[in-house]
């Protein structure tokens, strides 16, 4: 594993400033998430908000990706590409993922939104995924093994019969968009000996499917969007957090 960065208090302030804009973007876009809007319109609104607040949309730095955010609808797990022809309708659920670069420091967060009246299945999936994220954040503390994060998420999702996506994970972040460590959302025994230290900054972002299946496929046209193989709904919540002497501090709190 590559070395996990330890950030200074001053650097953490800068990461938190980027995280604040990312969180504010998700607050800003909420009233626009309704029937009849396209995911491309949501992208443009978020992009303009980020720029007006002095930030840059970090996904535009990723080679081959041409949008400011990711918009994953219903059975899309992650990396949903905004498009003018992808419209939201009553009953849809959507994850909006925002990463802001502010003066070379990054903050990354995502949350679920609902459109009109959603199914009981969708409601329970969203609530469970959010709870799984918060329980995972609660176990973060110095000298805790990173494997504890996956254990906490499994404890919440397994009794429901939900599947945890394994190939997409959380990541180190700070002065880079993606870095060490890989933050797995399932129990990974190799991470029993990889310990959290004060000053580490990383994301936790469980992607949970409404069925036990964890298989997926990538859209052949845009080569980005991951769909559940069985068409099941998928949900995700994400925060950027820093390890402090007292535990985790969320740097992308709404």
Q: Output the pLDDT for position 207.
A: 98
Give the distance from CA 59 to its chain's centroid: 13
Q: Is the pLDDT of residue 225 over 80?
A: yes
Query: Which CATH number applies to 9-250?
Result: 3.90.230.10
Which pLDDT band, with edges at 50, 70 and 90, does 11 fall under? very high
Structure tokens at 51: 């720029």
Percentage of the residues of the chain whose pLDDT score is greater than 90:
99
Domain-wise residue ranges, the chain: 9-250
Query: What is the pLDDT at residue 44?
Result: 98
Q: Report how far residue 214's alpha carbon sits from residue 206's, in angstroms, rounded to the nearest whole number.
A: 12
pLDDT value for 135: 98
**What value does the mean pLDDT take over residues 26-48?**
98
| 22, 205 Cβ separation under 8 angstroms | no
Place of tokens 């730095």: 61
Question: Closest Cα to residue 153, out of 214, 215, 206, 109?
Answer: 206
Encoded tokens for 194: 């990889």
**What are the tens digits of pLDDT across the range 159-202?**
999 999 999 999 999 999 999 999 999 999 999 999 999 999 99
List, in order, residues 6 or more apart from 3 with CB less than 8 Å away. 180
The answer to whether 162 touches 125, Cβ cutoff 8 Å, is yes
DSSP state of 168: S
Does the pLDDT of residue 137 top 80, yes or no? Answer: yes
Contact in structure between 232 and 210 (CB atoms under 8 Å): yes
For residues 193-212, give the mean pLDDT: 98
Under the banding of pLDDT at 50, 70 and 90, the label for residue 244 is: very high
Angle at 236 between CA 232 and CA 240, to 5 degrees: 165
Whole-angstrom Cα distance, residue 229 to residue 89? 22
Which percentage of the chain shows pLDDT scores above 70?
100
Structural contact between residues 231 and 1, judged by C-beta atoms closer than 8 angstroms: no
Under 8 Å between Cβ of 207 and 168:
yes
- Residue-level pLDDT at 2: 83
Residue 52 confidence (pLDDT) above 90? yes
pLDDT over 90 at 124, yes or no: yes
């Amino acid at each position: 594993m590559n070395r996990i960065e330890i950030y200074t208090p001053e650097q953490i302030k800068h990461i938190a400033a980027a995280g604040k804009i990312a969180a504010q973007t998700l607050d800003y876009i909420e009233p626009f998430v309704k029937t009849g809007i396209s995911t491309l319109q949501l992208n443009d609104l978020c992009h303009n908000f980020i720029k007006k607040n002095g930030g840059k949309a970090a996904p535009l730095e990723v080679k081959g990706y041409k949008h400011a955010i990711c918009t994953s609808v219903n059975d899309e797990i992650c990396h949903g590409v905004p498009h003018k022809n992808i419209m939201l309708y009553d009953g849809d659920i959507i994850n909006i993922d925002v990463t802001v670069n502010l003066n070379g420091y990054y903050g990354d967060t995502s949350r679920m939104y609902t459109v009109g009246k959603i199914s009981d299945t969708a409601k329970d999936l969203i609530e469970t995924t959010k709870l799984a994220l918060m329980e995972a954040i609660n176990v973060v503390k110095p000298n805790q093994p990173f494997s504890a994060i996956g254990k906490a998420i499994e404890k919440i999702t397994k009794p429901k019969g939900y599947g945890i996506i394994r190939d997409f994970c959380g990541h180190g972040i700070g002065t880079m968009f993606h870095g060490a460590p890989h933050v797995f959302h399932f129990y990974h025994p190799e991470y029993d000996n990889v310990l959290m230290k004060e000053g580490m900054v990383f994301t936790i972002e469980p992607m949970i499917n409404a069925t036990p299946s964890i298989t997926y496929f990538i859209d052949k046209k845009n080569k980005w969007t991951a769909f559940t193989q069985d068409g099941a709904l998928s949900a995700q919540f994400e925060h950027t957090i820093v390890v402090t002497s007292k535990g985790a501090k969320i740097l992308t709190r709404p």
